Structure 1
Amino acid sequence: MGNNSKAKYYPAALILYLNYFIHGVGCSILGQSVIKEALATSWGVEVMSITAISAALGLGRLIALPFAGPLSDKLGRRISVVIGGCSYAIYVIGLALAFNAGTNGGYQIAYICAIIGGIANSFLDTGIYPAVAEIISDAPGIATMGIKFFIAISQMLLPFFLGMTVATNAAGLVSYNRLFYICGIGYIILVVLIFILPLPDSDAAAAEKKEGLIASLKKTHFSIESIAMILIGFTCTGTFQLWLNCAQNYAKTNVGWEDPSIMQTFYSTGTILALIVTSILTRKIKDVRFIVVYPIICLCTLILVLMAPSQGMMKFAAFAIGWAGAGGLLQIATSVCNMLFPKIKGTVTALVMIASSLCNYTILTAAAAMTPSGVMVMNIVLTAIGVVLGIFVNLRYTKMVEANS
């Protein structure tokens, strides 16, 4: 199949990437201190308890992950993306309605909407990752890097979006509902476009032969190394999720920084640069080395933040965690799994993602009841466990490659 025949799919590829541009806002919006305060004021709850709503996104992902993949393979990418886009619109518009509901169940509405947002995320992932890899089949690695890139760009612009959409409602409360509505309408437009544009659905036919997660689990023999890799999916997610959702609160309480939302821009800049630099470095250095080096960078950064908090340190740390924590570490862990366990690629990838979502749910739910300093200590412990796991996998790596070759 030549490039010319692929050209008709490029508009669809752009629409698929734009889904992730809005998702970049949707997945980090609840971590912004200004949003957390606006919502907490409206609902009459503690600011840190908004973190539990971010955790509900992880719960939604957990619910959908086992069947979102097989569904995407059987019914096609388009259906998956449409389900994802519609569910995402419900999540962001639901947040606006929850804000308006105030103390009359607003918090509960937002929690349910966040679960739907997590389900949306799973469907978008299982629909869009394979679809862009099929469209840009000459460079599937670059195709999936593009997804992270669109997320990071929108996260980098998020503080400016917040500034543009802030308003005061009739009751005198600070509201970001405009941003929620814009994102929701954006998703509805993208869903309509995905219905119209042509998409390659080459896998739909081949999917009949694929077996489900449970069926392949029964046949799989798990080594200590594969379990360590799955646990790394848990620890590396914890590192950047705790930072994304709680670091701005830490900057407010421990540094006395009035509006630390610019930290988001430093974080995203780190992520974008890491995507470019890491993709160049992985040609020279084995992927498996990064799962030790990057967590060590994160660990040292978090310890520095705990020992000597300042505005400058928070900006530096946001950049460093954006680079080493969010700049593709989870993707690298997944690709290492695929190399080490070639016979059970899909199963291990699914388990790493399930570990990642499980972390998102459990760790953020725990963080919701803690002080910002307590969260920072928990992040240090979690990241340190990740470093130990990374060292273990690296020491065993050569033997594992020989065993699987």
Structure 2
Amino acid sequence: MELKNKPNIIGEKKAYLPLAIGIYLNYAILGMATIIISQYGNQFQLLWHTDVKGISTVISMIGIGRLLTILFAGFLSDSLGRKVTMLIGMITQIIFLLGLFLSTNLISACIIALFMGATNSFGDTSSYPALTDAFKNHAASMNSLVKAAMSIAQFILPFVVAAQPNAKITLITMVTIIILDIVLIGLANFAPQTLVQQHPSKKFKKVARPTTSVKTKTSQPSMLIDGSLLIIVGFTLSFTFYIFSQYAPNFGSNVLKLGINSSKSLISWYAMASLISVFVTSSLVTHIKPIKLIFIYTLISFLALLQMIIIRSADGARLTAIAIGFFAAGGIWQLGLTLLSQYFPTEKGKVTGYYSFATALTFFVGPLVSSFIIDDTAAGVLHVFEIDTVITLLSLIIISILMIRNRKFSL
């Protein structure tokens, strides 16, 4: 089967190009959908008869939706196929976007937000494997472009909001694009999803076991210690950039007293830096060990957040937006997953599931905790960012421990 594929590799790339375009377009809309509630926060408050606490509660429900569906979505992707799972995710996204402006109260908005969580689950468990299947030799770069598509879209959205203040028109436009994308995905060719790839991994396990038994226990990572710490880092790293992306506009308007457009533009700086980081980080990781890069990135993120809550200036907030976008949201999460996979190569599927579950937990816990603290006052918003800074410091402490332990591993 592989011998047949090799002569036609150029033809295959052309054959799977519509699939890649469809996935990137889908994630561009997904990137916008992730922050659209906060971008049109004032309109949704009026529509749902709530306040900023209610908005935060709705955002937290996205995390619950992801938690409830992430494991099931992975099973569905393997059993029913990538295309079916991907289309399910796109349909749930349409339900979410339409439901945002059809909801007339907080309860209905919270229910609708669950569908966005499902969209994340079905999208991730189908899109990444589909790209990996279709572009085996360039899987890493093709997958990194998913993040690039989201970053570009999140950079553009604040300008869209400024040009089109009516949320309903923006939402309908997004739905229209998804419907067209569904047609593209439906017609696109998907790489064969066979079980052949599983057999070599089983053989690898049998070969790898004798080599690991020869090494001393101290030369190998411990699932109990290193695995658990990295999974926790999956939560804390996500917390840093997710909370910033959701509440940066609130910081601009309530703490810095900036205008609405200036406050929302912080997300554009954040997204632009995130996009640049995708490409820079993918290059740096070939020269610097992932654990060292994670430490450097987290340290800079912590210092940036710290200066933002202490100095409290517009320029400082923009600088922090750039720093968080580049050093926290541009690929550090993927580096953590890469390191986890290197630590436990024979259990990639299991540890990836744990790592993703911890991240999904962020999307629920972060906004939920914030909903009890945040209000329309400067003090309330500051408390949210103080928590974000503390969680980032926790990341730094855990990564420092992992760095010390990493020195004695023979990988």
Please, what TM-score do these two structures have when normalized by structure 2? 0.88
The yes-or-no answer on 1:184 pairing with 2:175 is yes
Superposed counterparts of 1:183-202, under 5 Å: 183-202=174-193
- Once residues 118 and 17 of structure 2 are traced to their aligned partners in structure 1, the CA distance between those partners, rounded to angstroms, is 26
Q: CA deviation at 1:298?
A: 1.0
Q: 1:343 aligns with which of 342, 346, 349?
A: 346
Superposed counterparts of 1:201-216, under 5 Å: 201-203=192-194
- 2:248–2:267 contact (8 Å) kept in structure 1: no
Matched with 1:243 is 244
Mark the CA change 1:341 to 1:5 in structure 2 (over 3 Å): closer, same or farther: same
Mark the CA change 1:224 to 1:247 in structure 2 (over 3 Å): closer, same or farther: same
- 1:74–1:204 contact (8 Å) kept in structure 2: no
Q: CA deviation at 1:204?
A: 6.1
Matched with 2:137 is 138
- Once residues 398 and 30 of structure 1 are traced to their aligned partners in structure 2, the CA distance between those partners, rounded to angstroms, is 44
Matched with 1:173 is none
Q: Secondary structure at the match of 1:198?
A: coil
Matched with 2:157 is 158
The yes-or-no answer on 1:228 pairing with 2:233 is no
Q: CA deviation at 1:209?
A: 11
Count of paired positions: 378
Superposed counterparts of 1:162-173, under 5 Å: 162-167=161-166
Mark the CA change 1:257 to 1:353 in structure 2 (over 3 Å): closer, same or farther: same
Deviations 1:39-76 (A, max 9, x none): 11222222243112111111111111111112111111
Superposed counterparts of 1:6-405, under 5 Å: 6-32=13-39, 35-98=40-103, 101=104, 106-167=105-166, 176-203=167-194, 222-259=223-260, 260-370=263-373, 371-400=380-409, 402=410, 405=411
Q: Secondary structure at the match of 2:348?
A: helix
Runs of 4+ in 1 over 6 A off after TM superposition: 207-211
Q: Secondary structure at the match of 2:50?
A: coil
- Once residues 86 and 48 of structure 1 are traced to their aligned partners in structure 2, the CA distance between those partners, rounded to angstroms, is 28
Deviations 1:228-260 (A, max 9, x none): 000000100110111011121112111111221
- 1:30–1:51 contact (8 Å) kept in structure 2: no
Mark the CA change 1:96 to 1:44 in structure 2 (over 3 Å): closer, same or farther: closer
Matched with 1:214 is none
Paired amino acid for 1:351: Y
- Once residues 200 and 106 of structure 2 are traced to their aligned partners in structure 1, the CA distance between those partners, rounded to angstroms, is 44
Q: CA deviation at 1:207?
A: 6.9
363-372 or 184-193, larger mean C-alpha shift: 184-193
Paired amino acid for 2:130: A
Paired amino acid for 2:337: T
Deviations 1:245-280 (A, max 9, x none): 112111211111122111111001110111111111
Identity %: 26
Paired amino acid for 2:271: S
Calculate the aligned-residue CA RMSD, in Å: 1.9
- Once residues 332 and 191 of structure 1 are traced to their aligned partners in structure 2, the CA distance between those partners, rounded to angstroms, is 31
- Once residues 398 and 194 of structure 2 are traced to their aligned partners in structure 1, the CA distance between those partners, rounded to angstroms, is 35
257-266 or 3-12, larger mean C-alpha shift: 3-12
- 2:56–2:371 contact (8 Å) kept in structure 1: yes
Mark the CA change 1:249 to 1:265 in structure 2 (over 3 Å): closer, same or farther: same
